[in-house]
Chains A and B, each alone.
Chain A
Amino acid sequence: MPKKVRGVLTIREDLCKQCGLCVSVCPVHILDFSKDKINSKGYRPVELTDPDKCVGCAFCALMCPEGVIDVYREIVEVAE
């Protein structure tokens, strides 16, 4: 089966201040604020809307002032 690289994120929700910088720089537009979660500071933390599309570029992690996001890459098999 063919393989592709996919990004995997760790998101520390309680640190997120809903600033939107990561959302604005994601090249595949798959970050958005949670619709149903609120963290202990009263913010809607960021979440991946479509994890499969993550390319692991780390633009989000580079922009994040709070250190919310860690970025990893994995090789996954894709269906034809």
Chain B
Amino acid sequence: MGNLQVVYEVPKIYTGPNHYCPGCFHGIIHRVIADILQEEGWDDIAIGLAPVGCAVLAYDYIDIDWFEAPHGRACANATGIKWAWPDRLVFTYQGDGDAASIGFAETSYAAIRGLNITTIMVNNAVYGMTGGQMAPTTLVGMKTTTSPYGRDPKYAGYPLKMAEHIAQFEGTALSVRVSAFDPQHVLEMKKWIKKAFQYQMEGKGYTFVEVVSTCPTNWRMDPVKAAEFVKNEMIKVYPLGVYKDVGAEKKEG
């Protein structure tokens, strides 16, 4: 085995086994975050904030300091933590309900204040942990347990585009939407999460990465079909791309 070259080794700080459903993107995203933190040596100064949602136990899966936040409040808790320790790498890891429904004000204000933290919002169009209710990002016509006839805009309005919303604020340094439905997109996601953390360490402002993801269980699809649904349907409503990047703007200027 002497001439074995490492192509990819699962990071040591990614500690499993985890409780996520087979094929859930949480595992991919956690693993990629762990990759970045370990590669850059940031795990020693990182403080993660876990949401209420399937990722409520995220603190068991990445070997860094973690805070368990009340539902939606992670960006407010992170405000306290970041001002207590301004040079630490502070990031919130939240679902679409956590960051964009109950936490809409807290998430928006972290961006408005240009707080130097990173939010990773996992958008899978449902409330997974509680059994598949409608989320702010549920597609029109999509059936969930609280939209059994399909999401009706008359009562529930339209899907909420968080990456676009966060991009409008001057305090936002980076707002991107990525996904993990194939290896190329996983690598792209890694690039942008790393850039988000980098911008935080450089004090550029608030960074936001929305990851369009699956919920195979509540979508009633197998993991591969669920990934295809992200690629073929979700991306139509949630286009991948860079909605704000102060680093790119400077280069053009």
Contacts and interface: CB of A to CB of B under 8 A. Distances in A.
A70 B8 contact: yes
Given A21-B224, A63-B183, A71 B8 contact: yes
Interface string B12-32: 001011101111111110110
A32 B46 CA distance: 37
Contacts of A51: none
A21 B227 contact: yes
B53 interface: no
A15 B18 CA distance: 9
Interface string A56-80: 1111011111111111111100000
B182 A25 contact: yes
A62 B28 CA distance: 8
Nearest to B24: A65
Contacts of A25: 182-183
A72 B6 contact: yes
Contact of A24 (B21, B30, B31, B224): B224
Contacts of A62: 8, 183, 186-187
B3 A15 contact: no
Contacts of A66: 16-18, 27
A8 interface: yes
B183 A64 contact: no
B5 A72 contact: yes
A52 to B, nearest CB: 16
A15 B16 CA distance: 8
Contacts of B8: 58, 61-62, 69-71
Interface in B217-240: 222-224, 227
Contacts of B3: 74-75
A14 B17 CA distance: 9
B208 to A, nearest CB: 22
The 4 A-B residue pairs whose C-beta atoms are closest, nearest first, are A65-B27, A19-B23, A17-B22, A19-B22
Interface of A: 7-8, 14-15, 17-21, 23-25, 43, 56-59, 61-75
